[in-house]
Copies of this chain bind each other. A is one copy, B any other.
Amino acid sequence: MTTYLEDLAVGQRFGSGTAPVEIERIKSFAGEFDPQPFHLDEAAAKATMFEGLAASGWHTAALTMRLLVDGEFKPAGGIIGAGVEELRWPRPVRPGDTLRVESEILEIRPSKSRPQIGLVKVRNTTLNQHGDPVQIFVANLVVSRRPA
């Protein structure tokens, strides 16, 4: 079902499927986008503040986006970020972790200047297989209003 701005309410929650985090993809993503020792090499990572190999935060963010696109929250027009208010990684994502996302609607604001859309603030919490948050991500999404 397509979800328009009028179908949303503060406090609504949406879930996602799961995504495995494979060690080879941690390293290849980092090799392309974030080539630092703690994302590339187990032995070198042990000596860093990560105390072992960890996924790049941008890899976690990208995996989270995929879980959102495939997840329960299906706003009309797609998942389009107007901006991110908060993005942090409270603990490392490790090889072999399995991630999922829980989203909660925090605010709904119809646009004054653009009557066909609104902004929806959503907190997306990415959890590992132990239920521990690995990423907190608060974004404002552009959501279409129901056509008259």
B-contacting residues of A (Cβ < 8 Å)?
Answer: 29, 32-38, 48-49, 56-58, 61-63, 65-66, 69, 77-89, 142
Contact = CB atoms under 8 A, between A and B. Distances in A.
The oligomer's copy count stands at: 2
A85 B86 CA distance: 5
Contacts of A81: 57, 88-89
Contact of A83 (B33, B66, B80, B88): B88
B35 A66 contact: yes
A65 B69 contact: no
A84 B84 CA distance: 8
Contact of A78 (B32, B36, B66, B87): B36
A79 to B, nearest CB: 7
B49 A77 contact: yes
Contact of A62 (B37, B48, B58): B58
Contact of A65 (B34, B86, B88): B34
B86 A49 contact: no
A79 B48 CA distance: 12
A35 B69 contact: yes
A65 B33 contact: yes
A63 B35 CA distance: 11
Nearest to A85: B86
Given A61-B61, A65-B56, A80 B49 contact: yes
Given A57-B81, A58-B58, A81-B89, 7 more contacts: A29-B62, A32-B66, A34-B66, A36-B69, A49-B80, A82-B88, A87-B87
